[in-house]
Amino acid sequence: MRSSEGELGAAVARAQQGDEAAFAVAYRIVQPGLLGYLRGLVGAEAEDVASDAWLEIARDLGRFRGDAAGFRGWTATIARHRALDHLRRQKVRPRASEVEQDLLDLPAAHSTDGQVLESLGTQYALELLSTLPRDQAEAVLLRVVVGLDGPAAARVLGKRPGAVRTAAHRGLKRLARRLGAEGVTDDGPRALGGSE
Amino acid sequence: MNDRRSLGGEDGCGMGEREGGDTRPEPAAPGSPGDRPDLGAALAAALRDGAVDPEAEERALAAFREVRAGGALDGARTRRQDDWRPADGRRRGRPLREVLIALAASVTLGGVAVAAIGSAVGARDDGDGRDGLRPSSSAPTATATATADDADPGLPGPSGPFASPGPSGPSGRSSAAQDLLAHCRAYDSVQRQGKALDSAAWQRLVRAAGGQDDVEAYCAAQSTGSEEKKENKEKKENKENKEKKENKEKKEKKEKADRKSDEADPGKPAKTPKTPGKDAKSTKEAKNTKAEKSKANKDSKDSKNNEKDDGG
């Protein structure tokens, strides 16, 4: 992700001059993280919301000022607004309820951290995230999936950097506990408390 | 959905190598800090899902072409939410705009204020004999003030309909009286603080009362009854107080004299050890003269100062 920063910055600059190929490059670099973030927010609707977000990104590209990291933050903000609009319209919570049943069949229940992660698919990752409070889940998504730094993630969320850092830390810690727990559907802290 | 893949790649292998590969403990240290970056990478890999949908990309590119054709890429103004430059770069740009906005606002409001003042001043100017320049609508006020000016030409100040000296006099007096009462109320607390009494306001109060000892009575008189009654009371009380003062001064003089005789006594140690006899004599003389002075200036006596001198 980091190695693409210079490429992304140059691509954004050229796209702002009207270079379509450069816009395509920026799209390919940014879209995976954006889509991952949107999956965490709206689940299966992520592709549609991402499409809406890219329409807005293309429309306002001339307004944008900043480097590659700034572009990630800017696009994440737009995507987030589209996702929140979507959720408001649908009155659906970001946690996709259809995956609840899958969770029971997961091999994770009796395996180690590494084994869990090896078999961790998108749906399971989403389900894991859905166990977190909303602010922690979003902080983890922005930091880990979109790849924003602390201040940028804080700006996307409209919060203080310290609060976002704490939320991301707690979220990851909680996810680790869940993965380490004997049953993933349990309330997490039990196994960790026993092992430490 | 067949999304459950994608983690078998680099992240999963890396984790296996890190843990040693062959034997894994059952629920292996889940909370150890080393696991979290891998957990984050696993999450990212699971959610980022590398493949880009070509249709989605084509929609985005079509949108880009449309915007470019509309010319919106160039002329668009950067809003605050579009500026993701590092903080110092943003700070350099923003204040200028804010300053300009503030400047425009102040000029606008200031203009309104000046316009309002100008209209009021114009109305007042009518009274200063420039009637001919003014439209006829303002003539009545102008003539009225002109006659007023004729009536008492001795008044040099503004004599328009706005400047009526009548109400200002009593209000000024009443405010002075209120000040006085306020000073009276505060007098007790100030009295204990020593130096505060040296200030002009307190000295005025003391002077008005006719002496420090009379302030309480003076204030009591001020707070009750009408002004005339107060004046009468003041006179009476001043007399009484003067008599009291005289009595007090006499007492004090006696006491001073006693003290001086004590100091002058050669049997007791004097304050200045070098030449006790001379000092005692000189202080005695000085105090005698002071006592005479205070006798002479009964009206303006300041007993506190005398006491201070005695102490030093």
CATH number, domain with residue A124: 1.10.10.10
Residues A82 and A154 both lie in one domain: no
The alpha-carbon gap from A163 to the nearest alpha carbon of chain B, in Å, equals: 19
**Per-residue pLDDT tens over the stretch B73-132:** 876 788 888 999 887 545 555 567 777 888 888 888 888 887 877 666 555 544 444 444
* Neighboring chain B residues of A35 at a CB cutoff of 8 Å: 47-49
Q: Are residues A84 and A35 in the same domain?
A: yes
Tell me how far apart the alpha carbons of residues A57 and A36 are, in angstroms, rounded to a whole number.
Answer: 17
Average pLDDT over residues A24-33: 94
C-beta atoms of A143 and B40 within 8 A: yes
Q: In this predicted model, which residue has the larger pLDDT, A166 or B31? A: A166
- Are the C-beta atoms of B245 and B298 separated by less than 8 Å? yes
- Chain B neighbors of A195, CB-CB under 8 A: 27, 29-31
One domain for residues A44 and A120: no
Torsion sign (Cα): A174, A179, A183, A189: negative
Helix (H, G, I), strand (E, B) or coil at B83: strand
> Is there a contact between B67 and A191 if contact means CB atoms under 8 Å apart?
no
Same domain, A70 and A149: no
pLDDT at A37: 94
Query: Residue range A90-100: average pLDDT?
Result: 52
CB neighbours of B202 closer than 8 A, spacing ≥ 6?
B183, B187, B190, B196
- Please list every residue in chain A whose beta carbon sits closer than 8 Å to the beta carbon of residue B66: 58
d(CA B271, CA B287): 15
- The pLDDT assigned to A178 comes to 86
Q: How much is the pLDDT for B19? A: 36
Q: Show the domain range for A102.
A: 98-196
Q: Is it the case that residue B198 has pLDDT exceeding 60? A: yes
Structure tokens at B3: 């999304």
Q: Is the same domain home to A2 and A84?
A: yes
CB spacing of B39 vs A176 below 8 angstroms:
yes
**How close is the nearest chain A Cα to the Cα of B106, in Å?**
29
% of chain B residues with pLDDT over 70:
33
A173 and A189 belong to one structural domain? yes
CA distance B231 to B177: 13
- CA A155, A159, A161 angle in degrees (round to 5)? 75
Do A90 and A107 lie in a common domain? no
Mean pLDDT of A3-32: 92
* The pLDDT of residue B196: 63
Indicate whether A59 and A23 sit together in one domain: yes
Express each pLDDT in B219-264 by its tens digit: 777 776 544 444 555 555 666 666 666 776 667 766 666 665 555 4
Please name the residues in contact with B217: beta carbons below 8 A apart, sequence gap of 6 or more.
B209, B237, B241
CA end-to-end distance (rounded Å), chain A = 34
In the A/B pair of chains, how many CB contacts fall below 8 A?
Answer: 214
Domain boundary among A58, A74, A94: A94
Cβ atoms of residues B94 and B113 within 8 Å: no
In chain A, the number of structural domains is: 2
- Whether A176 sits inside 8 A of B12 (CB atoms) is no
Shared domain check, A113 and A56: no
A43 touches chain B (CB under 8 A): no
Query: Helix (H, G, I), strand (E, B), or coil: what is residue B162?
Result: coil
If one counts every other C-beta atom within 10 angstroms of the C-beta of residue B185, the result is 11
Domain endpoint, select from A94, A128, A144: A94
| pLDDT confidence bin for A79, thresholds 50/70/90 | very high
Residues in chain A within 8 Å Cβ distance of B15:
113-114, 117-118
Are both A89 and A153 inside the same structural domain?
Answer: no
Residues A74 and A167 in one domain: no
Q: Which of A55, A77, A94 is a domain's end point? A: A94
Residues A67 and A123 grouped into a single domain: no
The CATH number of whichever domain residue A38 belongs to comes to: 1.10.1740.10
